[in-house]
Structure 1
Amino acid sequence: MTAVGSVRRRVFGIAEPRKVFDRPGFAPVAWSRFAPVMESLALGYNVTLEDSAMAVLIPKLEAVDPVLHGFAYEGAAMGLGVLDVIAPGKHRTAAFAAGPGARHMATVYVGFGLALARLRRRPEKYLTQLDPVLGWVVVDGYGFHEGFFARRRSILRQLRPSHLSDTGRELYDQGIGRSLWFSTGADIALVAEAISRFAPGRQVNLWTGTAMACSFAGGTDRAGLEQLCRAAGAHRHRLSWGAAAAAWTRDLAHNPTPHTDLACEVLGEISSSDAARVLEKTRHELVGNPPSASYRTWRETCIPRLLAGTAGRPA
């Protein structure tokens, strides 16, 4: 650890990940269920603040259980994002997403969003540096941070930043939905109750985020996933997208898990490999057509293909 790194960790680091789950509104079971997730993220974040040289950082991230690599890389991107803000000019996070972190692009962008929320920066100002489709995920990370660390403002009072665009508000709520999965300890009844308190127009993106979190991180079984389908009601179709997005993220990282496979089967009635293939094919189509390249277009193009079972066949 460098001397400067020691100061950065002391000022900006996460000293005791366990204490995050002791805050009001977190279910007692949340820590025991998701401790490895939070510990992996905190490790990635803290070691990046200590020394962000890739030759030092990457071996530490790769030493984490492969199932948790996405969270470790998310934490690393959060650390790089902090450095980008306090010592601008190098575009560290964008370079990380395009280079050593490319297999974890989605979680890297989420981590960048966490950093921007932590330092009170407007996330959409940074989109020009990022992938035209996946870059919007920084706003999801921003929303997750607010749902997790500023619960009173974002969930109890249901406030949302006024500076966000229409698409930004959708991704912000998606991040809030992801945070609910972790803070409730994967208690679907508690998630459904929390979402029901929000304005009807916001609920679809909250359910989307919940599905992404449960599909990527796990935390429930087949019966729980079936309960999630029932609880989502009219927003059931967005669960398929959430599960598919998790499958694509894990496929890109080459770290599949049984809980993601099961989530795709139950929430989307499709295999995780087929779901990932739909998303990747569609993303390439959009990147090749810059005027239509956006996260919203990616989602809205993929959902009918997922629901129609067109995986692996011409759309």
Structure 2
Amino acid sequence: MPSLLGSLRQYVLAPKLSTVTFAERGFPGAGSPAAERLEAIPQSVVCGFEWGIAARDLWDVQRRLELVEAEQRGFAYEGAAMAFAVRDAMAGGSGRRTRELLLGPGAPHVFLTYIGIGFAMARLPRPLWRNIIPDLTDSPYYPTMTWLAVDGYGFDLAYFHTRRYVDEQRVPAPYPWEGSADYFPRAVDQGIGRALWFIHGADPAAVTAAVNRFAPQRRPDLWSGVGLAATFAGGCPADGLAVLRAASAEHWPQLGVGVVFAIKARTFAGHVPAHSELGATTLAGLSVADAVAIADRTEAYPDDGDQAVPVYERWRGRIREHLTAAAAPPADRKAG
């Protein structure tokens, strides 16, 4: 049971479930056959946020989260991470809730909990970002995958400020995340690409048109976000996914990077739904096992490769190279 202060925080900070529906947001995908299914994802995030913002302790939050069905559980953890990041910030940076969550019950969902921290970033002034990611030295993929927080920030901007960041295609000011201010807008675009999948109700033609309205240099990262969302969240049958793959054209390797990361995140959490397996096979021509093997085989580390490029992007680049080489005609592969 939440404390009086917890109930007040929930009342003030937690959004209503209706505010994340596509109709309420005015999204063109509101009439899509996939709308109700896709809306359940941000609604799961809201539920996780409500539990995290009001709860007295981690045990209470964990118990609630574990009651969520496996397919949606990671999204609920996303919301809890968002809530804990906000609470830690409200404590002047002295809070330890986020760290305890990510090193404890949230560990299998580390990819999504980073995204949840990004949602918190969208609601906090930038000076508070400095300590938004706790020290997670004992956690896998730290700090490499903390860029998913920036991805989450970009998703939030597109989802809740659609006119500004999708219609007008504004670019947020750079921020030296992991010391790489130049890469910050690219990670934001990966999150915006994910949001486009939701905004357009998993309609391949509409999503493609939305990506193509952006400047050419932004499209590769947008396509990567589309691939991640289409695979992780689903909402589109095989024939539609085939259309999406064809539409990505020269950006298909970027689309494939999103697919591989989606499968890696799903398997790391211990549950791969049928729609994620379909996304892997249709969008990237990969089995779940093959996608995981590619992710593991190409993983980058701080002490290898070009030090001017974030480790996260080095990993992504190696996945792109692998997919490109594997898709090349035999003669081209031999020549390479």
The answer, yes or no, to whether TM exceeds 0.5 is: yes
Match of 2:301 in 1: 286
Once the two structures are TM-superposed, the CA of residue 200 in structure 1 deviates from its matched residue by 0.4
Once the two structures are TM-superposed, the CA of residue 196 in structure 1 deviates from its matched residue by 1.2
* Residue 198 of structure 1 pairs with residue 214 of structure 2: yes
Structure 2 counterpart SS, 1:166 = coil
Structure 1 Cα separation of the partners of residues 278 and 207 of structure 2: 20
Once the two structures are TM-superposed, the CA of residue 235 in structure 1 deviates from its matched residue by 0.5
Match of 2:95 in 1: 90
Match of 1:41 in 2: 45
Root mean square deviation, CA, Å: 2.3
- Code of the residue aligned with 1:161 in structure 2: it is P
* Residue 147 of structure 1 pairs with residue 158 of structure 2: yes
Within 5 Å, which residues of 2 pair with 1:93-172? 93-121=98-126, 125=130, 126=132, 129=135, 131-164=142-175, 165-172=181-188
Structure 2 counterpart SS, 1:47 = helix
Cα 1:267/1:63, change in 2 over 3 Å: same
Within 5 Å, which residues of 2 pair with 1:230-269? 230-269=246-285
Cα 1:43/1:211, change in 2 over 3 Å: same
Cα 1:19/1:148, change in 2 over 3 Å: closer
Structure 2 Cα separation of the partners of residues 172 and 52 of structure 1: 33
Match of 2:71 in 1: 67
Structure 1 Cα separation of the partners of residues 165 and 56 of structure 2: 31
Structure 1 Cα separation of the partners of residues 285 and 128 of structure 2: 34
Match of 1:12 in 2: 13
Structure 2 counterpart SS, 1:286 = coil
Contact 2:241 2:283 in 1 (8 A): yes
Structure 1 Cα separation of the partners of residues 103 and 182 of structure 2: 27
Contact 2:65 2:73 in 1 (8 A): yes
Contact 1:177 1:208 in 2 (8 A): yes
Structure 2 Cα separation of the partners of residues 102 and 306 of structure 1: 28
- Code of the residue aligned with 1:61 in structure 2: it is L
Match of 2:199 in 1: 183
* Residue 54 of structure 1 pairs with residue 54 of structure 2: no
Residue identity over aligned pairs, in percent, reads 34
Structure 1 Cα separation of the partners of residues 18 and 57 of structure 2: 24
Structure 2 Cα separation of the partners of residues 170 and 194 of structure 1: 17
> Given the alignment, which residue of 77, 81, 88 partners 1:77?
81
Structure 2 Cα separation of the partners of residues 124 and 231 of structure 1: 37
Cα 1:19/1:171, change in 2 over 3 Å: closer
Structure 1 Cα separation of the partners of residues 10 and 257 of structure 2: 37
Please list the CA deviations of residues 111-134 of structure 1 after superposition, one character each: whole Å capped at 9, or x if unmatched.
Answer: 000011022436873467452211
Once the two structures are TM-superposed, the CA of residue 24 in structure 1 deviates from its matched residue by 2.6
* Residue 301 of structure 1 pairs with residue 306 of structure 2: no
Q: TM-score, normalised by structure 1?
A: 0.91
Structure 2 counterpart SS, 1:163 = coil
- Code of the residue aligned with 1:103 in structure 2: it is P
Please list the CA deviations of residues 152-205 of structure 1 after superposition, one character each: whole Å capped at 9, or x if unmatched.
Answer: 111111111122322211110000010110111111111111111111000111
Of 36-45 and 11-20, deviating more is: 11-20
Structure 1 Cα separation of the partners of residues 253 and 304 of structure 2: 26
Of 213-222 and 186-195, deviating more is: 186-195
Match of 1:224 in 2: 240
Structure 2 Cα separation of the partners of residues 151 and 307 of structure 1: 33
Of 25-34 and 165-174, deviating more is: 25-34
Structure 1 Cα separation of the partners of residues 127 and 314 of structure 2: 22
* Residue 209 of structure 1 pairs with residue 225 of structure 2: yes
- Code of the residue aligned with 1:35 in structure 2: it is E
Once the two structures are TM-superposed, the CA of residue 223 in structure 1 deviates from its matched residue by 0.6
Structure 2 gaps, min length 5: 137-141, 176-180, 328-336
State the structure with more CA Rg.
2
Once the two structures are TM-superposed, the CA of residue 303 in structure 1 deviates from its matched residue by 2.3
Structure 1 counterpart SS, 2:29 = coil
Please list the CA deviations of residues 73-120 of structure 1 after superposition, one character each: whole Å capped at 9, or x if unmatched.
Answer: 111111111112222212432442222211011100000000110224
Structure 2 Cα separation of the partners of residues 9 and 177 of structure 1: 30
